[in-house]
Amino acid sequence: MKILEVREKTCPIASPIRNAYIDFSKMTLSLVAVVTDVVRDGRRVVGYGFNSNGRYGQGNLMRERFIPRIVEADPKSLVDSTGDNLDPHKVWATMFTNEKPGGHGERSVAMGTIDMAIWDAVAKIAGKPLFQVLAERYGNGTPNRKVFVYAAGGYYYPGKDDAQLKDELRSYIDRGYSVVKMKIAGATLAEDCRRIESALSILKPGQRLCVDANGRLDLDGAIAYAKALSQYDLFWLEEVGDPLDYELQATLRNYYAGPMATGENLFSMQDARNLIRYGGMRADRDWLQFDCALSYGLVEYLRTLQMLDQHGWSASRCVPHGGHQMSLAIAAGLGLGGNESYPDLFQPYGGFPDGVKVKDSYVELPDLPGIGFEGKADLIREMRALAE
Protein backbone atom coordinates (compact mmCIF):
# COMPACT_ATOMS: atom_id res chain seq x y z
CA MET A 1 0.00 0.00 0.00
CA LYS A 2 1.07 3.58 -0.28
CA ILE A 3 0.14 7.16 0.49
CA LEU A 4 -1.08 8.90 -2.67
CA GLU A 5 -1.32 12.41 -1.31
CA VAL A 6 -1.39 14.50 1.87
CA ARG A 7 -3.70 17.51 1.80
CA GLU A 8 -4.02 20.29 4.36
CA LYS A 9 -6.18 23.34 4.84
CA THR A 10 -6.38 26.10 7.44
CA CYS A 11 -9.86 26.39 8.97
CA PRO A 12 -11.29 29.13 11.23
CA ILE A 13 -12.41 28.29 14.78
CA ALA A 14 -12.77 31.92 15.86
CA SER A 15 -14.95 32.94 18.80
CA PRO A 16 -15.28 36.01 21.08
CA ILE A 17 -14.01 34.18 24.18
CA ARG A 18 -10.88 35.08 26.15
CA ASN A 19 -8.76 33.31 28.74
CA ALA A 20 -6.13 34.93 30.97
CA TYR A 21 -3.61 34.98 28.12
CA ILE A 22 -5.24 35.13 24.68
CA ASP A 23 -8.50 35.82 22.90
CA PHE A 24 -9.76 33.47 20.18
CA SER A 25 -10.93 36.11 17.68
CA LYS A 26 -8.49 34.96 15.00
CA MET A 27 -8.01 31.33 16.03
CA THR A 28 -7.52 28.72 13.29
CA LEU A 29 -6.49 25.10 13.01
CA SER A 30 -5.08 22.81 10.32
CA LEU A 31 -7.16 20.02 8.85
CA VAL A 32 -5.15 17.22 7.21
CA ALA A 33 -6.12 14.33 4.94
CA VAL A 34 -3.79 11.41 4.23
CA VAL A 35 -5.10 9.78 1.05
CA THR A 36 -4.09 6.13 0.62
CA ASP A 37 -4.45 3.67 -2.26
CA VAL A 38 -6.35 1.25 0.03
CA VAL A 39 -10.07 0.65 -0.50
CA ARG A 40 -12.36 -0.55 2.30
CA ASP A 41 -16.10 -1.15 1.83
CA GLY A 42 -15.94 0.37 -1.62
CA ARG A 43 -14.39 3.62 -0.44
CA ARG A 44 -10.83 4.92 -0.60
CA VAL A 45 -9.26 5.00 2.88
CA VAL A 46 -8.43 8.55 3.90
CA GLY A 47 -7.01 9.32 7.34
CA TYR A 48 -7.96 12.65 8.86
CA GLY A 49 -6.42 14.81 11.55
CA PHE A 50 -6.56 18.31 12.97
CA ASN A 51 -4.76 20.17 15.69
CA SER A 52 -6.30 21.36 18.92
CA ASN A 53 -7.39 24.90 19.61
CA GLY A 54 -4.88 27.46 20.79
CA ARG A 55 -1.94 27.11 18.39
CA TYR A 56 -3.34 28.13 14.98
CA GLY A 57 -3.03 26.34 11.64
CA GLN A 58 0.43 25.08 10.69
CA GLY A 59 0.07 24.77 6.91
CA ASN A 60 3.36 26.45 6.06
CA LEU A 61 5.44 24.02 8.11
CA MET A 62 3.53 21.09 6.66
CA ARG A 63 3.88 22.26 3.07
CA GLU A 64 7.55 23.19 3.35
CA ARG A 65 8.90 20.26 5.34
CA PHE A 66 6.69 17.48 6.62
CA ILE A 67 4.39 16.63 3.72
CA PRO A 68 7.22 16.61 1.11
CA ARG A 69 9.25 14.22 3.27
CA ILE A 70 6.33 11.77 3.38
CA VAL A 71 5.36 11.91 -0.28
CA GLU A 72 8.98 11.85 -1.50
CA ALA A 73 9.88 8.84 0.68
CA ASP A 74 10.04 5.33 -0.80
CA PRO A 75 6.52 3.99 0.01
CA LYS A 76 8.12 0.74 1.23
CA SER A 77 9.94 2.70 3.94
CA LEU A 78 6.61 3.79 5.51
CA VAL A 79 4.78 0.46 5.84
CA ASP A 80 4.74 -2.25 8.48
CA SER A 81 6.18 -5.76 8.08
CA THR A 82 3.03 -7.02 6.31
CA GLY A 83 3.33 -4.30 3.69
CA ASP A 84 -0.44 -3.83 3.92
CA ASN A 85 -0.60 -0.95 6.37
CA LEU A 86 1.33 2.15 7.38
CA ASP A 87 3.75 2.06 10.30
CA PRO A 88 3.13 5.33 12.22
CA HIS A 89 6.57 5.14 13.84
CA LYS A 90 8.30 4.98 10.44
CA VAL A 91 6.17 7.85 9.11
CA TRP A 92 7.07 9.86 12.21
CA ALA A 93 10.80 9.21 11.78
CA THR A 94 10.53 10.24 8.11
CA MET A 95 8.83 13.51 9.05
CA PHE A 96 11.51 14.21 11.66
CA THR A 97 14.40 13.74 9.19
CA ASN A 98 16.90 16.65 9.41
CA GLU A 99 15.12 18.17 12.43
CA LYS A 100 17.34 19.16 15.37
CA PRO A 101 16.34 18.18 18.92
CA GLY A 102 14.85 20.68 21.38
CA GLY A 103 12.92 23.89 20.68
CA HIS A 104 9.67 22.08 20.15
CA GLY A 105 7.67 25.20 19.16
CA GLU A 106 5.06 24.79 16.45
CA ARG A 107 6.80 21.99 14.55
CA SER A 108 5.27 19.60 17.07
CA VAL A 109 1.78 20.86 16.14
CA ALA A 110 2.35 20.34 12.42
CA MET A 111 3.69 16.82 12.95
CA GLY A 112 1.05 15.95 15.55
CA THR A 113 -1.73 16.82 13.13
CA ILE A 114 -0.34 14.64 10.35
CA ASP A 115 0.34 11.86 12.87
CA MET A 116 -3.35 11.90 13.86
CA ALA A 117 -4.36 11.37 10.23
CA ILE A 118 -1.85 8.51 9.88
CA TRP A 119 -3.33 6.68 12.91
CA ASP A 120 -6.85 7.23 11.59
CA ALA A 121 -5.78 5.60 8.30
CA VAL A 122 -4.00 2.74 10.09
CA ALA A 123 -7.09 1.83 12.13
CA LYS A 124 -9.40 2.15 9.12
CA ILE A 125 -7.15 -0.14 7.07
CA ALA A 126 -7.20 -2.59 10.00
CA GLY A 127 -11.00 -2.26 10.00
CA LYS A 128 -11.12 -1.50 13.73
CA PRO A 129 -11.68 1.45 16.06
CA LEU A 130 -8.39 3.09 16.93
CA PHE A 131 -9.00 2.41 20.64
CA GLN A 132 -9.12 -1.31 19.81
CA VAL A 133 -5.89 -1.15 17.78
CA LEU A 134 -4.16 0.69 20.63
CA ALA A 135 -5.37 -1.69 23.31
CA GLU A 136 -4.10 -4.64 21.27
CA ARG A 137 -0.73 -3.14 20.35
CA TYR A 138 0.22 -1.16 23.43
CA GLY A 139 -2.33 -1.85 26.15
CA ASN A 140 -3.76 -4.89 27.87
CA GLY A 141 -5.81 -5.94 24.84
CA THR A 142 -9.13 -4.79 26.22
CA PRO A 143 -10.15 -1.16 25.73
CA ASN A 144 -12.22 0.64 28.35
CA ARG A 145 -14.86 2.26 26.19
CA LYS A 146 -16.32 4.34 29.00
CA VAL A 147 -14.23 7.51 29.27
CA PHE A 148 -14.45 10.30 31.84
CA VAL A 149 -15.05 13.72 30.28
CA TYR A 150 -15.39 17.13 31.83
CA ALA A 151 -16.86 20.31 30.38
CA ALA A 152 -14.40 23.14 29.75
CA GLY A 153 -15.80 26.63 29.44
CA GLY A 154 -16.27 29.53 31.83
CA TYR A 155 -14.25 31.82 29.58
CA TYR A 156 -14.21 35.56 29.90
CA TYR A 157 -16.06 37.43 27.21
CA PRO A 158 -17.30 40.99 26.82
CA GLY A 159 -20.23 41.82 29.10
CA LYS A 160 -20.35 38.37 30.74
CA ASP A 161 -21.48 38.57 34.36
CA ASP A 162 -21.74 35.99 37.14
CA ALA A 163 -25.33 35.12 36.25
CA GLN A 164 -24.26 34.23 32.71
CA LEU A 165 -21.33 32.23 34.04
CA LYS A 166 -23.68 30.26 36.26
CA ASP A 167 -26.14 29.71 33.40
CA GLU A 168 -23.32 28.41 31.21
CA LEU A 169 -21.99 25.97 33.80
CA ARG A 170 -25.53 24.86 34.68
CA SER A 171 -26.12 24.04 31.02
CA TYR A 172 -23.13 21.67 31.11
CA ILE A 173 -24.48 20.00 34.24
CA ASP A 174 -27.86 19.67 32.49
CA ARG A 175 -26.09 17.91 29.60
CA GLY A 176 -24.69 15.19 31.84
CA TYR A 177 -21.37 16.56 33.06
CA SER A 178 -20.57 16.46 36.76
CA VAL A 179 -17.15 18.17 36.44
CA VAL A 180 -16.97 21.62 34.85
CA LYS A 181 -14.13 24.10 34.34
CA MET A 182 -13.86 27.87 34.31
CA LYS A 183 -11.11 30.37 33.56
CA ILE A 184 -9.37 32.46 36.21
CA ALA A 185 -6.46 34.94 36.37
CA GLY A 186 -7.97 37.20 33.71
CA ALA A 187 -9.45 39.41 36.43
CA THR A 188 -8.36 40.44 39.94
CA LEU A 189 -8.04 37.77 42.62
CA ALA A 190 -11.04 39.25 44.45
CA GLU A 191 -13.15 39.17 41.30
CA ASP A 192 -12.08 35.61 40.54
CA CYS A 193 -12.94 34.48 44.08
CA ARG A 194 -16.39 35.99 43.60
CA ARG A 195 -16.74 34.22 40.23
CA ILE A 196 -15.58 30.90 41.73
CA GLU A 197 -18.08 31.22 44.60
CA SER A 198 -20.84 31.93 42.06
CA ALA A 199 -19.89 28.84 40.11
CA LEU A 200 -19.69 26.65 43.23
CA SER A 201 -23.13 27.87 44.32
CA ILE A 202 -24.85 26.01 41.47
CA LEU A 203 -23.12 22.67 42.10
CA LYS A 204 -24.82 19.84 43.98
CA PRO A 205 -23.05 17.11 45.97
CA GLY A 206 -20.86 15.05 43.65
CA GLN A 207 -20.46 17.89 41.16
CA ARG A 208 -17.04 19.55 40.99
CA LEU A 209 -15.29 22.63 39.63
CA CYS A 210 -11.85 23.00 38.00
CA VAL A 211 -10.22 26.40 37.53
CA ASP A 212 -7.62 27.28 34.88
CA ALA A 213 -5.19 30.23 35.02
CA ASN A 214 -3.70 29.51 31.57
CA GLY A 215 -0.15 30.12 32.75
CA ARG A 216 -0.82 33.78 33.49
CA LEU A 217 0.59 34.27 37.00
CA ASP A 218 4.11 35.09 38.19
CA LEU A 219 5.41 33.51 41.39
CA ASP A 220 3.91 36.09 43.76
CA GLY A 221 0.57 36.00 41.97
CA ALA A 222 0.61 32.23 41.86
CA ILE A 223 1.23 31.98 45.60
CA ALA A 224 -1.53 34.52 46.30
CA TYR A 225 -4.00 32.52 44.19
CA ALA A 226 -2.86 29.21 45.70
CA LYS A 227 -3.42 30.50 49.23
CA ALA A 228 -6.79 32.09 48.44
CA LEU A 229 -8.11 29.13 46.45
CA SER A 230 -7.12 26.65 49.17
CA GLN A 231 -10.41 27.56 50.89
CA TYR A 232 -12.42 25.93 48.06
CA ASP A 233 -12.81 22.23 47.37
CA LEU A 234 -11.75 22.31 43.71
CA PHE A 235 -11.41 19.28 41.43
CA TRP A 236 -8.15 20.82 40.22
CA LEU A 237 -6.19 24.06 39.92
CA GLU A 238 -4.73 24.29 36.40
CA GLU A 239 -1.64 25.84 34.81
CA VAL A 240 -1.08 28.55 37.39
CA GLY A 241 2.28 29.82 36.09
CA ASP A 242 4.28 29.69 32.90
CA PRO A 243 4.24 26.12 31.54
CA LEU A 244 8.05 25.97 31.42
CA ASP A 245 8.57 27.39 34.93
CA TYR A 246 9.01 24.09 36.74
CA GLU A 247 10.35 25.73 39.89
CA LEU A 248 7.19 27.83 40.22
CA GLN A 249 5.08 24.70 39.86
CA ALA A 250 7.23 22.87 42.43
CA THR A 251 6.97 25.78 44.87
CA LEU A 252 3.19 25.89 44.67
CA ARG A 253 2.68 22.63 46.47
CA ASN A 254 3.92 24.34 49.62
CA TYR A 255 0.87 26.60 49.35
CA TYR A 256 -1.77 24.36 47.75
CA ALA A 257 -2.48 20.85 49.00
CA GLY A 258 -5.29 20.03 46.58
CA PRO A 259 -4.92 18.55 43.10
CA MET A 260 -3.16 20.61 40.44
CA ALA A 261 -3.08 20.06 36.69
CA THR A 262 -0.74 21.22 33.94
CA GLY A 263 1.06 20.14 30.77
CA GLU A 264 -1.09 21.26 27.82
CA ASN A 265 1.68 23.58 26.62
CA LEU A 266 4.50 21.02 26.88
CA PHE A 267 5.05 19.67 23.39
CA SER A 268 7.52 16.81 23.67
CA MET A 269 8.39 13.82 25.83
CA GLN A 270 11.51 15.73 26.94
CA ASP A 271 9.51 18.75 28.15
CA ALA A 272 7.03 16.45 29.87
CA ARG A 273 9.94 14.65 31.51
CA ASN A 274 11.30 17.93 32.82
CA LEU A 275 7.93 18.64 34.40
CA ILE A 276 7.99 15.23 36.09
CA ARG A 277 11.63 15.62 37.16
CA TYR A 278 11.55 19.21 38.36
CA GLY A 279 7.93 20.36 38.68
CA GLY A 280 7.13 18.76 42.03
CA MET A 281 4.02 17.11 40.62
CA ARG A 282 2.42 14.51 42.91
CA ALA A 283 1.57 11.16 41.31
CA ASP A 284 -1.14 10.49 43.91
CA ARG A 285 -3.32 13.53 43.13
CA ASP A 286 -2.11 15.76 40.30
CA TRP A 287 -3.19 15.61 36.63
CA LEU A 288 -1.21 15.75 33.39
CA GLN A 289 -2.72 17.40 30.32
CA PHE A 290 -0.27 16.72 27.47
CA ASP A 291 -2.21 16.91 24.18
CA CYS A 292 -0.91 14.64 21.42
CA ALA A 293 -2.43 16.86 18.72
CA LEU A 294 -0.09 19.68 19.77
CA SER A 295 2.92 17.60 20.71
CA TYR A 296 4.13 15.41 17.81
CA GLY A 297 1.16 13.07 17.90
CA LEU A 298 0.56 9.64 19.35
CA VAL A 299 4.00 8.26 18.41
CA GLU A 300 5.50 10.83 20.79
CA TYR A 301 2.68 10.40 23.32
CA LEU A 302 3.57 6.70 23.58
CA ARG A 303 7.11 7.79 24.53
CA THR A 304 5.63 10.15 27.12
CA LEU A 305 3.51 7.36 28.61
CA GLN A 306 6.59 5.13 28.79
CA MET A 307 8.52 7.93 30.51
CA LEU A 308 5.67 8.38 33.01
CA ASP A 309 5.65 4.67 33.76
CA GLN A 310 9.41 4.77 34.41
CA HIS A 311 8.83 7.61 36.89
CA GLY A 312 6.06 5.82 38.76
CA TRP A 313 3.13 7.62 37.18
CA SER A 314 -0.01 5.84 36.02
CA ALA A 315 -1.52 6.69 32.63
CA SER A 316 -4.73 7.23 34.55
CA ARG A 317 -3.33 10.57 35.82
CA CYS A 318 -3.47 11.88 32.22
CA VAL A 319 -6.51 13.88 31.15
CA PRO A 320 -5.44 15.53 27.90
CA HIS A 321 -6.23 19.05 26.77
CA GLY A 322 -8.04 19.61 23.51
CA GLY A 323 -11.45 17.96 23.47
CA HIS A 324 -10.87 15.90 20.33
CA GLN A 325 -11.76 12.31 19.51
CA MET A 326 -8.10 11.30 19.13
CA SER A 327 -7.52 11.69 22.86
CA LEU A 328 -10.81 9.91 23.55
CA ALA A 329 -9.53 6.93 21.54
CA ILE A 330 -6.20 6.98 23.38
CA ALA A 331 -8.01 7.23 26.72
CA ALA A 332 -10.17 4.20 25.89
CA GLY A 333 -7.32 2.19 24.39
CA LEU A 334 -4.54 2.93 26.85
CA GLY A 335 -6.31 3.70 30.12
CA LEU A 336 -5.94 7.45 30.43
CA GLY A 337 -7.95 9.17 33.16
CA GLY A 338 -10.28 10.92 30.75
CA ASN A 339 -10.46 13.78 28.30
CA GLU A 340 -11.36 17.45 28.11
CA SER A 341 -14.51 18.47 26.22
CA TYR A 342 -15.84 21.85 25.05
CA PRO A 343 -19.61 21.43 24.72
CA ASP A 344 -20.18 24.77 22.98
CA LEU A 345 -16.85 25.64 21.40
CA PHE A 346 -14.53 24.86 18.49
CA GLN A 347 -17.16 23.03 16.45
CA PRO A 348 -17.31 20.93 14.39
CA TYR A 349 -13.87 19.69 15.46
CA GLY A 350 -14.50 19.07 19.14
CA GLY A 351 -16.99 16.73 20.69
CA PHE A 352 -18.21 13.20 20.21
CA PRO A 353 -19.79 11.06 17.48
CA ASP A 354 -23.48 11.87 16.97
CA GLY A 355 -25.72 10.11 19.43
CA VAL A 356 -23.06 9.76 22.14
CA LYS A 357 -24.54 11.16 25.34
CA VAL A 358 -22.69 12.26 28.46
CA LYS A 359 -23.91 10.52 31.61
CA ASP A 360 -22.40 11.21 35.04
CA SER A 361 -19.44 12.78 33.16
CA TYR A 362 -18.71 9.61 31.17
CA VAL A 363 -19.19 8.80 27.49
CA GLU A 364 -19.17 5.37 25.87
CA LEU A 365 -17.34 5.19 22.56
CA PRO A 366 -19.16 3.54 19.63
CA ASP A 367 -17.71 0.95 17.25
CA LEU A 368 -16.45 3.06 14.36
CA PRO A 369 -13.36 2.23 12.28
CA GLY A 370 -10.52 4.68 12.80
CA ILE A 371 -10.71 7.55 15.26
CA GLY A 372 -14.47 7.81 14.77
CA PHE A 373 -14.81 10.99 12.71
CA GLU A 374 -17.26 9.27 10.32
CA GLY A 375 -19.75 9.19 13.20
CA LYS A 376 -19.93 12.98 13.47
CA ALA A 377 -21.86 14.30 10.47
CA ASP A 378 -20.82 17.97 10.58
CA LEU A 379 -17.15 17.05 11.01
CA ILE A 380 -16.87 14.36 8.35
CA ARG A 381 -18.59 16.70 5.87
CA GLU A 382 -15.73 19.19 6.32
CA MET A 383 -13.14 16.45 6.12
CA ARG A 384 -14.50 14.85 2.97
CA ALA A 385 -14.71 18.26 1.30
CA LEU A 386 -10.93 18.41 1.64
CA ALA A 387 -10.12 14.99 0.24
CA GLU A 388 -12.94 13.11 -1.50
Residues that bind Mg ion (CB under 5 A): 212
Q: Are 191 and 216 in contact (CB under 8 A)?
A: no
d(CA 147, CA 169): 21
Q: How far is the CB of 238 from Mg ion (least distance, A)?
A: 5
Closest CA to 288 of 347, 330, 227: 330
CB of 214 to Mg ion, least distance (A): 6
Q: Is 183 annotated as catalytic?
A: yes
Shortest Cβ 338–Mg ion spacing (Å): 14
Where are the alpha helices (H) located in 96-161, listed in sequence order? 107-126, 130-138
Residues forming a β-bridge with 287: 261
Q: How far is the CB of 166 from Mg ion (least distance, A)?
A: 21
Residue 19 CB: number of other CB atoms within 10 A? 21
Q: Which is nearer to Mg ion, 54 or 370 (by Cβ)? A: 54
Give Rg (Cα) of the chain.
20
Whether 104 is a known active-site residue: answer no
Q: What are phi and psi of 128, to 5 degrees?
A: -135, 160
SS3 181: strand
Contact yes or no for 282/253 (Cβ under 8 A): yes
Q: Which residues pair with 208 in a beta bridge?
A: 179
Q: Based on CB atoms, which residue is closest to Mg ion, 53 or 251?
A: 53
Q: Which residue(s) pair with 366 in the sheet?
A: none
Residues 6+ apart with CB under 8 A from 383: 31, 33, 46, 48, 373
Q: How many CB atoms lie within 10 A of CB 72?
A: 8
Please state the closest distance from residue 334 (CB atom) to Mg ion, in A.
22
Q: What are phi and psi of 160, to 5 degrees?
A: -75, 125
Comparison of 192 and 212: residue with beta carbon closer to Mg ion: 212
Question: Which CB sits closer to Mg ion, 143 or 350?
Answer: 350
User: What 3-state DSSP class applies to 378?
Assistant: helix
Q: Which residue's CB atom is positioned nearest to Mg ion? A: 212
Choose between 87 and 212: whose C-beta lies nearer to Mg ion: 212
Pairing mode of beta strands 236-238, 260-262: parallel
Indicate the residue among 212 and 245 with the shorter CB distance to Mg ion: 212
> Which residue in the list 321, 357, 359, 376 is annotated as catalytic?
321
Q: Beta strands 43-50 and 146-152: pairing type?
A: unpaired
What minimum distance in Å lies between the beta carbon of 289 and Mg ion? 7
Map residue 46 onto helix, strand or coil.
Answer: strand
Of 104, 124, 183, 324, the catalytic one is 183
Could you give the residue numbers annotated as active site?
183, 321
